[in-house]
Amino acid sequence: MTLSRWNPPDTLSAREARIRKRVGKKRKMFGFLCDQRCELFDEEFQAELEQMYRDTGAGKDPVPPALLAMVVLLQSYSKASDSDAVELAACDARWQLVLGCLGSDEAPFSQGALFNFRERLIAHDMDRKLLDRTRELAKRTGAFDYKQLPKKLDVAIDSSPLIGAGRVEDAFNLLAHAAWKVVLCVAELRDRPAELLVDELGIPLLAESSIKKALDIDWSDPVAKNAALNLLLGQIETLEQWVKTNLSSEASKPPLQDQLGLLERLREQDLEPDPKGGGQRIERGVAKDRRVSVEDPDMRHGRKTKTKTFNGYKRHIAVDLGTKLILAVTVASANEPEKDSLPTLVDRLDQQGLELGRMYFDRGYIESSDVPELIADGVEIICKPWRQSNGDKFNKTDFKLDFAKQTVTCPGEQTQPMILGEIARFDADVCNACALKSKCTTSDRGRGLRVAANEPLQAKLRVLQGSAEGRARLRERVPVEHSLAHVSQRQGNRARYLGKRKNEYDLTRAAALVNLQVIQRELESSEVAIAA
């Protein structure tokens, strides 16, 4: 199998030049991609893309991978599906200008080729390399004067919700949906229609398009609801018993094993024994790490605020405040705390060989295990401290914490030793006799003060927030919010794909396009300055 390189012409034809001039006034990204395509996809990067393919000598020659990588960017810019991308490449002169096929009646790739390329891109993490290439392009084009920028980067991190593409279902629908997937799997293994199978087994509920409609009960009646649940569970158990008896070998390996495992997990997360006897009931409260969708295994319940919830993912971005370029991204399930995503972003910054001077982020990231290591490496952390509240009583800011002596002194001048990550206890007798007790505690056992493991950092951040100069430094992170807004506008707030990795690919290409727009604006402003 021979891989051909994408070699768009360096010089535009008369017709291409006319179209390039038109897109220079509106939809400028088409013109920018046309101008920079050879620089963005140089010989070195094309060679890296070619490593995604096996040299077997079999099959048809693939479409040049660099051309398909450009299609990926055009897709994000035009918000086009795979089928739309094929049509645009065949009919839209702007797409043809960028792809170097102006005047062609056929697209230079098929929908299947684009799908397969995306799978390869994700499998080899080359989408992340595409994002890295935009940063390299900024250097090559001279969009920024790097001599005037600090060697060590100031990086800001932020996140926003991404609503999942999978259908969110309650316990009844999740169980019925998962059971139907088992039925479909069994029907395929037995080469029989699924509808005929459920009739033979006497489990008609599992074939219904709407389990709630099929049960047809008063859903406000807890007795009827519980009876309906156990009716559904009875038919699921009938199915499982039949599979165990007739397909024991197939049940121990994929795909049937996976579907049965999913059904069991959903039952464990949503059900509990009925204390009144007589089967199962819906578990009170929400199970930790509860799966909310059958089709998307990575979607979870999440919270943006105490009152605002969503189902899906969180997308995280790291932005260089000097250039406003996005350096790294990641996607996490909605229930994963921000602190769990910081190590991934830091690792990806390290892989690019970037030196960090300061890091700006929200409180949610401050508890990450990477923060002490960053501080030890000389990275300055800029973040708001945790809020301190204790009603009308003294809070932590009213106490004197001496980290050198490892002591804490209360407003009443009682001093006790403190250990990071533990609670400092003050003597009850001293507290009860103190004139300030009514302002400090209602307990007769003395005041307790929780000292966080990162309390020295929290103390520094409280000092930072307490001055006008410090608050101005905190506001330096605002560009990351702007970048996140641009990414949200480009990617949308609803996921295009199922699963974390594919949605991270979508986020990565959106971030790459945002970077290209930043570079384009910088180059335009430089040209205007030179002309002036």
Which pLDDT tens digits describe the chain residue by residue (532 residues)? 567 889 998 889 999 999 999 988 888 999 999 999 999 999 999 999 999 887 654 456 678 999 999 999 999 999 999 999 999 999 999 999 999 999 898 999 999 999 999 999 999 999 999 999 999 999 999 888 887 788 899 999 999 999 999 999 999 999 999 999 999 999 999 999 999 999 999 999 999 989 999 999 999 998 899 999 999 999 999 999 999 999 999 999 999 999 999 999 999 999 988 887 778 889 888 888 899 999 999 999 998 888 889 999 999 999 999 999 999 999 999 999 999 999 999 999 999 999 999 999 998 999 898 999 999 999 999 999 988 888 899 999 899 999 999 999 999 999 999 999 999 999 999 999 999 999 999 999 999 999 999 999 999 999 999 899 999 999 999 999 999 999 999 999 999 999 999 999 999 999 999 999 999 999 988 765 554 4
The CA distance from 334 to 303, in Å, is 7
Q: Which of 99, 134, 76 is nearest to 6 (CA)?
A: 99
Q: Which residues contact 81 (CB under 8 A, 6 or more apart)?
A: 75
Provide the whole-model pTM: 0.90
Tell me, what's the pLDDT at 59?
53
What is the sign of the dihedral through the CA atoms of 95, 98, 102 and 104? negative
Structure tokens at 379: 């990275």
Counts for the chain of helices (H) and strands (E), in that order: 21, 13
Tell me, what's the pLDDT at 146?
80
Q: Which of 274, 213, 297, 234 is nearest to 500 (CA)?
A: 297
- Note whether 256 and 243 are within 8 A (CB): yes
Kind and range of the H or E run holding 480:
helix 478-491
Number of Cα atoms under 13 Å in the Cβ half of residue 253: 3
Tell me, what's the pLDDT at 531?
47
The CA distance from 359 to 321, in Å, is 10
Q: How far separated are the first and last CA of the chain, in Å rounded?
A: 53
Peptide bond into 62 cis (omega under 30): no
Location of structure tokens 């807890």: 222
DSSP string, 109-152: S-HHHHHHHHHHHHHTTHHHHHHHHHHHHHHHHT-S-TTSS-SS
Q: Which residues contact 174 (CB under 8 A, 6 or more apart)?
A: 266, 270, 291, 292, 294
Tell me, what's the pLDDT at 307?
84
Q: Which of 204, 168, 393, 448 is nearest to 292 (CA)?
A: 168
Location of structure tokens 């106490």: 399
Chain-centroid distance of CA 454 in Å reads: 26
Structure tokens at 89: 């490449």
Location of structure tokens 């001077």: 357
Structure tokens at 236: 């699921």
Tell me, what's the pLDDT at 390?
87
Number of Cα atoms under 13 Å in the Cβ half of residue 453: 6
A 10 A CB-CB count for 67 gives: 26
